[in-house]
Amino acid sequence: MTRRLILWLTGAATAFWLIAAGLGISVMHDEFGEIFDGSLQETAERLVPLVVGDLDQRAGSAYPHQLREGADDGDAEYLVYQVRNAAGEVLFRSHDAPEAPFDAPLKRGFWTDNSYRFFTAATDDNTIFVQVADALANRSEALTEGGMALFLPVLVLIPVSVLLIRLIVRRTLAPVDGLRKAIEEKDGGNMAPVPAGMLPRELRPIARSVNHLLVRLQSAFDAEREFTANSAHELRTPIAGALAQTQLLIAELDGPKKRRAQQIETSLINLGHTAEKLLQLARAEAGIGSGAGFVDLVPVLQLVVTDFERRDPAAGRLCFQRDAGAVLEGSYSQDAFAIVLRNLIENALLHGDRDEPVDIRLETGGVVRIVNGAAALSPDELAGIRKRFGRGATTSPGSGLGLSIAERLLQQMKAGFEVLSPATGRSDGFEVVLRFKSGDASG
């Protein structure tokens, strides 16, 4: 918008200046014509009595054909004239006047040819004629110089106008830009009201409307988060109860009935896992990834790794390493970070080669790497597993939501997310790289 305003205002100012200059040249053309014609007529009429008086004093004597002979100083005369008799003969002429008679007829008034503008004055008896000529080139030169004086300032006007208009427009639209930035910063974790006190009167209704909307959004987010938290508890309890009853039933049954009960157990376990993932996805969509305070995520990382190790201590596949001086601090959500880690580590354990460890490494600069053994995937397969409910060629249980949940939460945390296969420095393997902003993750 600023650029368009600058271009349009500069173009309009330049166009008006050019139109004004064109009109000025048109007026100058008419005014110069009147001035030059007036000067031409006045000169001719004043020369008539002088010429007649001079002729009377020199009656019977020879007259020089040209006045001021030998007085050429190199400067051309602005006006030239000839004195002619009724027969058209040149009695005498000015220094720069041609020797041949002018083409102008011996008739009082103005006359113009291709090179000169003439005015002819005569005595009362029409025996002596004074013809004064003004070169049209002199008029064109005057008009050209006047036009250049009007058009040349445009060369300075355009850049100066651009700078001035740019400064004025930017200062005028600064409140609009500030309001835009304030609204742009709003997300699920920043619902603070937009400051409206310093805004111009025209923008205050917009700020008030945005603040009302933020209040409603905050209420909706709070209600959604409360619902998902309550739903998580309400869903887990009946599923866990049904699973416990099924396991008791399995212990009491034999034969085909026991196998059917085991199938029910497997279905309930998968249902509980899927319900948990859907609830995590709902929380991610509710915007829980935006943190409100400065936190240290390293204890969360260590706690999640320890929890997996305790859950299956015999596997011993997790290998956690932390580079010297590596920290992971910033304005993040600990809950969202824990959900991301659980999904990524769970995927690595379920879908990775069970004979190879799962390496979790915290590096300097806020980088977390999770690497597991697996056959290398093609680019199409990598794109497929990143889609919601996307699953690769695997027989392991799962819902295909783990990577989607992790990516959604990391977007809210403003962290980078990369999926690599083969892993860095290997010909196979699967690697997930989390890159937190250095300003937030450097402590």
Residue 443, pLDDT score: 37
Specify if 237 maps to a domain: yes
Q: Which of 84, 117, 143 is the last residue of a domain?
A: 143
Q: Is the pLDDT of residue 164 over 80?
A: yes
Residue 369, pLDDT score: 92
Same domain, 195 and 320: no
Q: How many domains does the chain have?
A: 3
Same domain, 225 and 298: no
Same domain, 429 and 296: yes
Same domain, 269 and 292: no
186-213 average pLDDT score? 74
Same domain, 430 and 312: yes
Please state, for a pLDDT cut of 90, what percent of the chain lies above it: 2
Name which residue leads in pLDDT, 158 or 87.
Answer: 87
Number of other CB atoms surrounding residue 235 within 10 Å: 16
Select, from the ranges 270-274, 370-374, 397-401, the one with the highest average predicted confidence (pLDDT).
370-374
Specify if 381 maps to a domain: yes
pLDDT classification of 229: cutoffs 50, 70, 90: low
Q: What is the largest CA-CA distance in the chain?
A: 162
Specify if 368 maps to a domain: yes
Specify if 57 maps to a domain: yes
pLDDT classification of 441: cutoffs 50, 70, 90: very low
Sequential DSSP letters for 32-64: HHHHHHHHHHHHHHHHHHHHHHHHHHTTTS---
Same domain, 222 and 252: yes
What's the pTM value of the predicted model, to 2 decimals? 0.48
Same domain, 414 and 293: yes
365-374 average pLDDT score? 89
Residue 69, pLDDT score: 46
Contact 366, 435 (CB under 8 A): yes
Residue 125, pLDDT score: 84
pLDDT classification of 39: cutoffs 50, 70, 90: confident
Range of the domain at 44: 2-143
Same domain, 368 and 378: yes
Sequential DSSP letters for 368-406: EEEEE--PPPPHHHHHHHTSTT---S--S---S-HHHHH
How far apart CA 213 and CA 181 sit, in angstroms, is 16
Q: Which of 287, 305, 323 is the last residue of a domain?
A: 287
Q: What is the tens place of the pLDDT at every residue in 336-360? A: 888 888 888 888 888 888 888 889 9
Place of tokens 């989607």: 404
How far apart CA 113 and CA 120 sit, in angstroms, is 14
Specify if 113 maps to a domain: yes
Q: Is the pLDDT of residue 57 over 60?
A: yes
Specify if 136 maps to a domain: yes
Same domain, 300 and 276: no
324-341 average pLDDT score? 86
How far apart CA 443 and CA 436 sit, in angstroms, is 12
Residue 61, pLDDT score: 53
Q: What is the tens place of the pLDDT at every residue in 248-300? A: 888 888 878 888 888 888 888 888 877 777 777 776 766 666 666 788 888 99
Same domain, 333 and 392: yes
**CATH number, residue 76:** 3.30.450
pLDDT classification of 370: cutoffs 50, 70, 90: very high
- Which of 10-14, 132-136, 204-208, 395-399 has the least mean pLDDT? 395-399
CA dihedral 345, 350, 352, 354 (to 10 degrees): 110
Specify if 95 maps to a domain: yes
CA dihedral 409, 412, 413, 416 (to 10 degrees): 80
Which of 430, 323, 420, 331 has its CA nearest to residue 374? 430
Q: What is the tens place of the pLDDT at every residue in 118-159? A: 999 888 888 889 989 888 888 888 888 888 887 777 777 778
Specify if 159 maps to a domain: no
Q: Is the pLDDT of residue 423 over 70?
A: yes
Q: Which of 110, 143, 176 is the last residue of a domain?
A: 143
Residue 70, pLDDT score: 44
Residue 71, pLDDT score: 46
**CATH number, residue 360:** 3.30.565.10
21-30 average pLDDT score? 84
Same domain, 378 and 416: yes
Same domain, 241 and 340: no
Average pLDDT value over all residues in the chain: 79
Residue 214, pLDDT score: 80
Residue 424, pLDDT score: 87
